[in-house]
Structure 1
């Protein structure tokens, strides 16, 4: 197993941090629960009266992780909500306000843009109707969580001098109660809307039109296909291609022109939710790898998950154990969701990465020239529906927010110049709460069939992973798949006049899935799920960071859990571009004399292991290779691509070559284009346009490398030892991914070097003899800061673990917990 730490550590950070000395309250005196909810959510559905369990126990381990024991679902989640309020009250308050669009009410004008985005992405009436239709047990999950959370809110409000988290005083307001709607909406707003709502169709259309305007219809269309292809048969897939069946249509259709200045709110939302903008707008979130009985040294299964949500203080994820009412699970989950996304029940374990399926379409609506609030559908103009809400703004006048919709969905952009509007249709609309409860109930699954039964209920696009104690492993990519008409080009908006409507939904059997693949492992790093499943924002290619994982899994026959864990460190520091350009550079300099300076410069890259690290801790990445690569790739990209692309299009590619000066979160999109161009006729993506313009490939590589190293000599001196790139620190932000404060700015944390890895990492090993789980979820379990500024001892006690690639062993069994018990709370 990885190096374990079962003691509280004092982190050694590269910034000065205030260390806390007293714990957050571990026990509570029972208080009367106010059934009259006072949260900011919509709808307080009545439903049948629920039995309220009187005895709920919370046992915390020596890292502050709560384990809740109860006999009923409602009781179990009462304890869960209570523990969350103890640890993360300010974070959860601001998460709720972020997704409901009420942040401006407490932080002022800086929250207005977020509130407008959030309100445009939700349908309060639909969500409440879905909640009202839940079974009694499923609804008890949401009600119990809200009840427990509110119990502790009441306790805090009754003793603010001792219990009120300092951030509330700093920001000048008090915590509010949660409703069952609020509990559901935190998951919907931060999971469904963040990872299942991205689209690049409008931006793709603008790029296509720019290419056509500059090169003509035929040449422009060819260039577009070379930039945004429909399928690359050489792209790595999580379901082995031999098991895949391509069923995606990729037709073509004509659309009205689009004003290049049109801003699609879907793009803005994707950027706000963690995407990077065109040409790869989808959020970059998560990797995973696991081996089964044929590739595990003991015949069991080992799963390592690294969900990449970015890094925050308090931690993006929350540790929890739930024990009772048919549930016996321990794990971590974002924003303390009622569903445990990364956990185990000791029979099986599961994980997740961001989903790759195309479950949204943008429709180009033809507007009535005389009335832009009407659009053409099935031969006649229809009125758009409108919903206007008022956003309260601290210190300023309220702001009106109007959300327009067509039969397809919310209007995301308007183009008055061309009498057009764009609206988004979601395949998963109406399944949000069902999807959440599918993830809740999968915690009870004991085998693959029971696991798949819950996956089938999930409407959003997400990747699910499975492993069990018998050594079986599996993967499924849930999500409602539209049955699109054959003439639709999924890369650009569909026609909204009624001639390009979905023809229902494809059966769940069509969703990508694999069980015990012959290769003995399953892995993913947000790559293509299976052959034939591309998306408007994916552009899957043979150039993929996924290969950093699989090359290591293919390197030996069997793995121990420790060896599975060790892969994490190498992938975290890998340069993601050199792997694909090295063979071409090697050929380019094959006949360059050994005493030529260009040859010795090229050798820095050819002999480099691709690891961007700072082992001597001098604040710079080791060796000249990282610096040469960061100088050469932009020059090579410019030399090969710039003359063929409109300036604005090229600039978008150039901006993403190395998004972080010290590293790249995924291979540059230009590396994909360069690799295809270098392959020429052998490229899996047809190269109709010669990006090299007939020039010798090797000469271009040599000339651009020489230009890069000449520039380095001019700016850094003749000695390559001085060609260094400063290390990028690993930062923990105090604003959540929507840009809303979730801690005081003074609580920002930083460690030495950026790591391209999970926000948290968990390793689970199962075999017939038992289960073990090891986790590092920085900074710590609790974000509690007392009124006097004292921090919980669990405020940052996982930070050093994470930085050093260590982890803490989870207490999966009662006897383990008893040996590492810190406190016991009875919630009555």
Structure 2
């Protein structure tokens, strides 16, 4: 509580200081702007845009994004459209080809119509603003940003279609899990996959009729992983990166609480989406005002509007609802003509699209892209007469990731909010709601395929026996409006109601570990009068409730080994908080992340399946240890206790090797640290390099605490978590708080490049100023913008 109070005091002092100092004034003449406008940049780098109409508001959003994040969004576009080789050379031809497999290739009129009125116009305005900034650079009116100078590239112009055609950023991915499960089934039978991923609700999957799991190798994932990964540079260029998005990094927390359960009598809505950390941040906070239009919050910088925030009447936030939105199809191909595949008793030709990829320093290359009736062919094995294609929701019209927020961000009540989500495509989300009338609610939204005769957990034959028969309607997915409890929360856990017909609808079976939700639930249920400070404390709560279950198991372990006894005692006396100064947290997190699963898999899984299994899923491992069975051998309890003892001793040894033999000197933050380096850091001159980093700080938290801080096992570095947090006081909007990290700007020379990192690392927040008076009080810079009278040249 003390650190949260200090956060509010800090915010007030900073706001007061900003109000006393006269804002810096800047005047710009901008081609393409229709009428005079103003952008106020506050003390924390947040842009507040005041425009004469909605079109100019979106135009200036794009212009301002380019001002702060041009390198980031330019790389996002080039990666998504398959244009990397043009800038970076022949090493990127394969990734460009893979990205192009997943571009939306359907009718663009259907695509734009799926997002509702205004979506295309607003996006055209947004990219016109981006292009205006790019044109200023090309004309020599602005310097080429430093990132481009170092990379040896220049920014491209955009079209509106670019924003929505990119689909390789889709997040609800389970094709790798289908492949992993098939590899295990080939090696040791599907029964051996029980520790691979925790399946909920209780379900027994089977190998689909007609599928030989041994047809599926790890090589099948090659193009799929190229298309969905970030941009990597090798050799002398080290590593550039778009965001890597490992499945365990994709999560979030949100909750909406009725005024009947808050101290103010007003609803509180909180959201902290979790993704891989980066410099610049994945999220960008913006405030846009025009007559009849108002919105503030965060979104991804390459997308118009915001997906998390409020509009002065309605507040909204999201977390992943882990529906199964894709399938891997396996085809028998014609040995004499590999471009044909068996379907419905006959042979069907694949569709082939030939494209040209521009290559820096070389002649352009032609590549062939192959498609079946289900989707892009990601791998072919002519020797076995097999081909593999991905069918995904995110190839359907209206499923550009997060772009559907264009519909709901202007909703003014529950019916209009819910109605806007009837067209939400991807990723599938838990959308929470609160409004100034006091209503709260939740909608699980997204396109969920109907699979009449399989469960989606394994690849399936593409011969016509396994076809989607449409999508579940919004009314077939769960929701709640003004729940009797007075609150609703989600953390990517299984949240289908007890009476939900999951066996019929098969929404999905691979949900996130419920640990974060259990802690959120126990705190909210115990709070009759929640405050904003309580909500911020919960977002930054480092409690890992799984430790209670593991301590219960350790209580039955008997040992004469002094080190093991010391380890058990350390965890027994630990408060279950993964604080940066905690010795117990260091031992526990290393144990369950690196050693416990490995030991369980070695006992319970046949040798042939272990490579595909990895360390198993910790939820599945804990479930087995709590109910040991003969998969562990003739004496399951003894085997279970051996797993606990051996793995805990190994973890104790690892931590002692890193931090010394005395547990009193251990601290989780000595291992678990956050440092976010810019992708270009390896190419930056040594004298500049430190300025391109966030700096380094010890971190509390873990993947299983509300304070999400997923870490890399090889060096304990924090890799994923909540780069953006928001707590909204619905109706008293200026009380709302938020934080981004490491900063709003992507320019290492900007004072807002990493200024928020130390605030974020301490679990603190800054004001999310909304009223004109609050914005003016916090203003650091005023940018007055005038139309230049010069028309932008049309984008391609």
TM-score, normalised by the number of residues in structure 2: 0.82
CA contact (8 A) 1:772 1:812 kept: no
Cα distance, 1:425–1:542 mapped onto 2, change above 3 Å:
closer
Residue 588 of structure 1 corresponds to: 557
2:586 matches 1:626: yes
Q: What does the per-residue CA deviation read over 1:568-595, in whole Å, with 9 as the maximum and x for residues that have no partner?
A: 2223xx4575233111112335xx79x9
Secondary structure in structure 1 of the residue aligned to 2:220:
coil
2:131 matches 1:164: no
2:50 matches 1:69: yes
Cα distance, 1:202–1:733 mapped onto 2, change above 3 Å:
same
Residue 13 of structure 1 corresponds to: none
Among 32, 40, 43, which residue is 1:59 paired with? Answer: 40
CA contact (8 A) 1:776 1:798 kept: yes
Among 730, 733, 738, which residue is 2:674 paired with? Answer: 730
Q: What does the per-residue CA deviation read over 1:342-389, in whole Å, with 9 as the maximum and x for residues that have no partner?
A: 111121211112331112122221211222211011111011111222
Among 758, 766, 791, which residue is 1:808 paired with? Answer: 766
Deviation at 1:801, TM superposition (A): 1.7
Deviation at 1:443, TM superposition (A): 1.7
CA contact (8 A) 1:678 1:697 kept: no
Secondary structure in structure 1 of the residue aligned to 2:71:
helix
Mapping 1:11-90, distance limit 5 Å: 26-31=26-31, 33=32, 53-90=34-71
Q: Distance in 1 between matches of 2:196 and 2:651?
A: 29
Deviates more, 1:221-230 or 1:141-150: 221-230
Residue 704 of structure 1 corresponds to: 646
Residue 792 of structure 2 corresponds to: none
Deviation at 1:780, TM superposition (A): 1.9
Cα distance, 1:370–1:58 mapped onto 2, change above 3 Å:
same
Secondary structure in structure 2 of the residue aligned to 1:395:
coil
Q: Distance in 2 between matches of 1:745 and 1:520?
A: 50
Cα distance, 1:113–1:522 mapped onto 2, change above 3 Å:
farther
Residue 788 of structure 1 corresponds to: none
Among 611, 630, 636, which residue is 1:694 paired with? Answer: 636
Q: Distance in 2 between matches of 1:134 and 1:270?
A: 24
Q: Distance in 2 between matches of 1:508 and 1:172?
A: 48
Q: Distance in 2 between matches of 1:412 and 1:124?
A: 16
2:219 matches 1:262: yes
Cα distance, 1:250–1:324 mapped onto 2, change above 3 Å:
farther
Cα distance, 1:536–1:782 mapped onto 2, change above 3 Å:
same
2:96 matches 1:149: no
2:572 matches 1:606: yes
2:722 matches 1:758: yes
Deviation at 1:527, TM superposition (A): 1.8
Deviation at 1:308, TM superposition (A): 1.5
Cα distance, 1:549–1:814 mapped onto 2, change above 3 Å:
same
Deviation at 1:714, TM superposition (A): 8.8
Among 449, 452, 475, which residue is 1:485 paired with? Answer: 452
Deviation at 1:459, TM superposition (A): 1.5
Deviation at 1:561, TM superposition (A): 1.0
Residue 304 of structure 1 corresponds to: 270
CA contact (8 A) 1:228 1:539 kept: yes
Deviation at 1:713, TM superposition (A): 10
Cα distance, 1:457–1:70 mapped onto 2, change above 3 Å:
same
Q: Distance in 2 between matches of 1:457 and 1:706?
A: 49
Structure 1 unaligned segments of length 5 or more: list them. 10-22, 34-51, 213-220, 234-245, 616-621, 656-668, 682-686, 786-790
Residue 448 of structure 1 corresponds to: 414
2:746 matches 1:783: yes
2:760 matches 1:793: no
Q: Distance in 1 between matches of 2:295 and 2:364?
A: 45
Cα distance, 1:649–1:324 mapped onto 2, change above 3 Å:
farther
Q: Distance in 1 between matches of 2:730 and 2:319?
A: 20
RMSD (CA atoms): 3.7
Residue 234 of structure 2 corresponds to: none
Q: Distance in 2 between matches of 1:712 and 1:780?
A: 35
CA contact (8 A) 1:359 1:480 kept: yes
Residue 203 of structure 1 corresponds to: 180
Deviation at 1:558, TM superposition (A): 3.1
Secondary structure in structure 1 of the residue aligned to 2:132:
helix
Cα distance, 1:719–1:53 mapped onto 2, change above 3 Å:
closer
Cα distance, 1:203–1:562 mapped onto 2, change above 3 Å:
same
Q: What does the per-residue CA deviation read over 1:428-473, in whole Å, with 9 as the maximum and x for residues that have no partner?
A: 4332368766411312112111111111111223322212224432
Mapping 1:210-249, distance limit 5 Å: 210-212=187-189, 221-225=190-194, 227-228=196-197, 230-232=199-201
CA contact (8 A) 2:41 2:47 kept: yes
Q: What does the per-residue CA deviation read over 1:287-344, in whole Å, with 9 as the maximum and x for residues that have no partner?
A: 2233223322222221221111222222221121111253211111112421301111
Q: Distance in 2 between matches of 1:580 and 1:734?
A: 39
Cα distance, 1:798–1:7 mapped onto 2, change above 3 Å:
farther
Residue 642 of structure 1 corresponds to: 602
Q: What does the per-residue CA deviation read over 1:489-511, in whole Å, with 9 as the maximum and x for residues that have no partner?
A: 32112221112212222222111
Secondary structure in structure 2 of the residue aligned to 1:518:
coil
Residue 121 of structure 1 corresponds to: 102
Deviation at 1:165, TM superposition (A): 1.4
Tell me how many residue pairs correspond in the alignment: 730
Cα distance, 1:702–1:377 mapped onto 2, change above 3 Å:
closer
Cα distance, 1:819–1:408 mapped onto 2, change above 3 Å:
same
Q: Distance in 2 between matches of 1:713 and 1:137?
A: 56
Q: Distance in 2 between matches of 1:196 and 1:640?
A: 26
Cα distance, 1:325–1:118 mapped onto 2, change above 3 Å:
farther
Q: Distance in 2 between matches of 1:113 and 1:359?
A: 25
Deviation at 1:133, TM superposition (A): 8.4
CA contact (8 A) 1:198 1:267 kept: no
Residue 528 of structure 1 corresponds to: 494
Secondary structure in structure 1 of the residue aligned to 2:518:
helix
Secondary structure in structure 1 of the residue aligned to 2:28:
coil
Deviation at 1:194, TM superposition (A): 3.7
Cα distance, 1:209–1:8 mapped onto 2, change above 3 Å:
farther
Deviates more, 1:632-641 or 1:339-348: 632-641
Q: Distance in 1 between matches of 2:44 and 2:599?
A: 53
Q: Distance in 1 between matches of 2:285 and 2:654?
A: 47
Mapping 1:93-104, distance limit 5 Å: 93-104=74-85
Deviates more, 1:309-318 or 1:66-75: 66-75
Cα distance, 1:252–1:304 mapped onto 2, change above 3 Å:
same
Q: Distance in 1 between matches of 2:50 and 2:655?
A: 65
Mapping 1:308-707, distance limit 5 Å: 308-432=274-398, 438-463=404-429, 464-486=431-453, 488-530=454-496, 532=502, 539-540=510-511, 544-571=515-542, 574-575=543-544, 577-589=546-558, 598-615=564-581, 622-623=582-583, 626-627=586-587, 630-631=590-591, 635-647=595-607, 649-651=609-611, 653-654=613-614, 669-680=616-627, 689-690=631-632, 693-696=635-638, 699-700=641-642, 703-704=645-646, 707=649
Q: What does the per-residue CA deviation read over 1:653-689, in whole Å, with 9 as the maximum and x for residues that have no partner?
A: 555xxxxxxxxxxxxx4432332223328xxxxx684
Q: Distance in 2 between matches of 1:114 and 1:251?
A: 32
CA contact (8 A) 2:379 2:389 kept: yes
Q: What does the per-residue CA deviation read over 1:79-134, in whole Å, with 9 as the maximum and x for residues that have no partner?
A: 21121222222222222111111122112245444323321111345447624887
CA contact (8 A) 1:467 1:473 kept: yes
Deviation at 1:633, TM superposition (A): 6.9
CA contact (8 A) 2:84 2:93 kept: yes
Secondary structure in structure 2 of the residue aligned to 1:119:
helix
Cα distance, 1:68–1:565 mapped onto 2, change above 3 Å:
same
Deviation at 1:802, TM superposition (A): 1.0
CA contact (8 A) 2:323 2:507 kept: no
